[in-house]
């Protein structure tokens, strides 16, 4: 399967069109968007603003507001609608989705953010999940993998050289999280019940599923791990920068 696996992140055109055989992945450096915080607040709905206000930490409140504002701006490039006019519904797990228009293809999306970075995945008529995690050097990856990962994944991490365990753990973690998010099953799917493919972009069937899933690791930043998971598999993955200051690359 031919895919765009280039590490290059592109500047997006003013308007974009999602295609059946492709997924678009966006990355955004959140601190670089702080000067536009007031603008992003105005794009949010009243319930989103209320949700932001419930965060106790200012940093969490700002990150949520900027992330949701960027999501609205990204979606507006595909929908041709002002960011503040986009309407969301929510699944039983609290996952946002676009309000369905029966006359148009269903534009699917998923969002994740960790520390300073956020990622967004956009596709049509598909299940899609994306995850990003900041790699922490102090995390007990052996203990966590034994508790939450499949036995073969935990063994793989345990047998890895010590200087590579953290990165390997996070590579597995984001693939598993992205898959769970894509299925929409939330915490009802135990992470220990399935093992994700590493280093391969061949579509696979996992867990009790009947669909072919594409697992794709994404390079966001050296200190972060990220992954995209989607079905049906795609032939192209395009990567776009929202806006990244040169100093933060």
All domains of the chain in start order, with CATH: 22-244 (3.90.470.20)
216 in Cβ contact with 189 (< 8 Å): no
Residue 53's alpha-carbon distances to 46, 57, 58, 206, in angstroms, are 11, 10, 9, 39
Distance of alpha carbon 150 from alpha carbon 152, whole angstroms: 6
Please, what sign has the CA dihedral across residues 57, 59, 62, 66? negative
Helix, coil or strand: residue 226: strand
Q: What is the pLDDT of residue 2?
A: 41
- Report how far Cα 167 is from the mean position of its chain's Cα atoms: 18
- Structure tokens given for 229: 């998971």
DSSP class of 54:
T
Tens of pLDDT, residue by residue, the chain (249 residues): 344 444 689 988 877 888 889 999 999 999 999 999 999 999 999 999 999 999 999 999 999 999 999 999 999 999 989 999 999 888 777 778 887 765 667 899 999 999 999 999 999 999 999 999 999 999 999 999 999 999 999 999 999 999 999 999 999 999 999 999 998 877 677 889 899 999 877 889 887 778 899 999 999 999 999 999 999 999 899 999 997 444 444
- Structure tokens given for 172: 């597995």
79 in Cβ contact with 68 (< 8 Å): no
Q: What is the pLDDT of residue 129?
A: 96
Helix, coil or strand: residue 196: coil
Distance of alpha carbon 10 from alpha carbon 205, whole angstroms: 31
Please, what sign has the CA dihedral across residues 96, 101, 102, 105? negative
Please, what sign has the CA dihedral across residues 164, 166, 171, 175? positive
Side-chain half-sphere exposure of 204, counting CA atoms within 13 A:
16
Q: What's the pLDDT tens digit per position in 9-50?
A: 998 887 788 888 999 999 999 999 999 999 999 999 999 999
- Structure tokens given for 233: 């598999």
Q: What is the dihedral of CA 32, 33, 35, 37, to 10 degrees?
A: -150
Q: What is the pLDDT of residue 104?
A: 67
């Amino acid at each position: 399967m031919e895919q765009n696996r280039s590490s290059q992140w592109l500047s997006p055109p003013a308007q974009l069109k999602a295609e059946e055989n492709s997924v678009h992945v966006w990355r955004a450096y959140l601190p670089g968007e702080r000067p536009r915080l007031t603008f992003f607040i105005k794009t949010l709905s009243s319930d989103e603003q209320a949700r932001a206000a419930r965060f106790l930490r200012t940093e969490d409140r700002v990150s949520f507001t900027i992330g949701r504002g960027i999501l609205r701006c990204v979606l507006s490039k595909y929908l041709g609608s002002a960011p503040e006019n986009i309407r969301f519904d929510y699944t039983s797990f609290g996952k946002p989705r676009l309000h369905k228009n029966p006359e148009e293809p269903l534009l699917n999306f998923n969002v994740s953010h960790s520390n300073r970075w956020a990622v967004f995945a956009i596709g049509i008529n598909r299940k899609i999940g994306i995850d990003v995690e900041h790699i922490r050097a102090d995390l007990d990856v052996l203990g966590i993998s034994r508790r939450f990962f499949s036995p073969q994944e935990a063994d793989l991490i345990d047998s890895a050289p010590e200087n590579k365990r953290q990165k390997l753990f996070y590579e597995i973690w984001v693939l598993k999280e992205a898959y769970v998010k894509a299925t929409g099953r939330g915490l009802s799917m135990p992470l220990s019940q399935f093992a994700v493919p590493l280093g391969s972009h061949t579509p696979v069937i996992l867990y009790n599923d009947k669909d072919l899933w594409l697992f794709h690791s994404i390079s966001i930043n050296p200190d972060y791990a990220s992954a995209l998971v989607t079905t049906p598999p795609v032939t192209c993955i395009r990567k776009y920068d929202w806006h990244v200051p040169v100093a933060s690359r």
